[in-house]
């Protein structure tokens, strides 16, 4: 099976599954004929010993041929298919056909509230931090649908407190009076992200796309006030014109939302 547009992973796996089913059927026939051969031997049925032995030999020959067919049926360049964008497009088509909302942004797929990254070398996808190796598109999209039915693991209150700590540290470092003006000063969310992932390797473990998704989930939640009584907001700015200073996220309905700054102010 080639990956030049004439075939899909779903089709390739369906073909190999059918070949595996045929091999399993042949294996069952081997087992049945061997049982008959054993029965004839154990009972001393001399007439049936030779006949059942020949039948077992024939069924094993059939099994060898069916297994060879199954082995030959899997000729698919999986790593290339996963890495060249075709797999992502097949997932999007499959999701549309199955009525599952799946969207693409940058090098990730977004299926609210999960972010999906394809890992060609591992022949897997990462759903947030969880590695999933079941890659048949219909199976994987059904898994996405099941995940959407579960309550999100995201804890908005804990994330809000982390943002407030980072925000306070950045504002103080910049010599800004956080709350003296009555409304909190605006700090860029990208600066908050840089502080949260300051240690080596943390930006790889917590990519900016995941941070943007978490900001969106917080924005959509009821968690808006810290334990110390400061209320969060996400002000827009002319800075939203600069891609490097913004966070972009796909919303639950497939639109794009842009975030620039964060601010905290005392009280409601």
pLDDT per residue as tens digits for the range 103-118: 998 888 999 889 999 9
Tell me how far apart the alpha carbons of residues 37 and 51 are, in angstroms, rounded to a whole number.
8
Helix-helix angle 156-173:208-220, to 10 degrees: 110
Task: Give backbone dihedrals phi and psi of 256, rounded to 5 degrees, phi first.
Answer: -110, 135
- What is the token pair recorded at 109? 């797929």
Q: What is the DSSP letter of 84?
A: S
DSSP state of 230: E
Q: What is the pLDDT of residues 45-78, one digit of tens each?
A: 999 999 999 999 999 999 999 999 999 999 999 9
Please report how the helices 156-173 and 189-196 are oriented relative to each other, as an axis angle in degrees rounded to 10.
Answer: 100
Its pTM stands at: 0.81
Bridge partners, residue 230, by sequence: 266
For range 144-151, the mean pLDDT = 88
**pLDDT at residue number 4:** 44
Cα distance between residue 101 and residue 140, in whole Å: 13
Which residues, other chains included, contact 60 with Cβ-Cβ below 8 Å and sequence gap of 6+?
Answer: 30
State the average pLDDT for the chain: 89
Q: What is the pLDDT of residue 48?
A: 95
pLDDT at res. 244: 77
**Alpha-carbon distance 4 to 17, whole Å?**
21
- Backbone phi, psi, residue 20, to 5°: -65, -40
């Amino acid at each position: 099976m080639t990956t030049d547009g004439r075939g899909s992973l779903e089709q390739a796996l369906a073909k190999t599954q059918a070949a595996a089913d045929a091999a399993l059927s042949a294996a069952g026939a081997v087992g049945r004929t061997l049982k008959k051969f054993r029965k004839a031997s154990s009972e001393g049925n001399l007439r049936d010993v030779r006949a059942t032995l020949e039948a077992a030999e024939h069924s094993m020959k059939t099994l060898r041929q069916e297994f060879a067919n199954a082995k030959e049926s899997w000729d698919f360049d999986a790593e290339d298919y996963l890495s060249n964008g075709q797999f992502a497009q097949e997932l999007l088509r499959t999701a549309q056909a199955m009525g599952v909302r799946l969207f693409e942004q940058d090098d990730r797929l977004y299926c609210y509230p999960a972010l999906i990254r394809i890992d060609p070398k591992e022949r897997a996808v990462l759903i947030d931090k969880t590695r999933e190796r079941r890659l048949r598109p219909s199976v994987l999209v059904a898994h996405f649908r099941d995940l959407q039915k579960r309550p999100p693991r995201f804890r908005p209150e804990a994330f809000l407190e982390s943002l407030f700590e980072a925000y306070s540290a950045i504002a103080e470092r910049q010599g800004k009076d956080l709350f003296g003006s009555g409304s909190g000063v605006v700090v860029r969310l990208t600066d908050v992200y840089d502080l949260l992932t300051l240690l080596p390797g943390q930006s790889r473990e917590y990519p900016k796309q995941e941070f943007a998704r978490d900001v969106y989930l917080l924005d959509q939640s009821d968690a808006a006030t810290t334990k110390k009584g400061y209320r969060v907001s996400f002000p827009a700015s002319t800075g939203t014109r600069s891609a490097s200073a913004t966070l972009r996220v796909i919303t639950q309905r497939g639109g794009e939302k842009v975030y620039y700054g964060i601010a905290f102010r005392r009280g409601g």
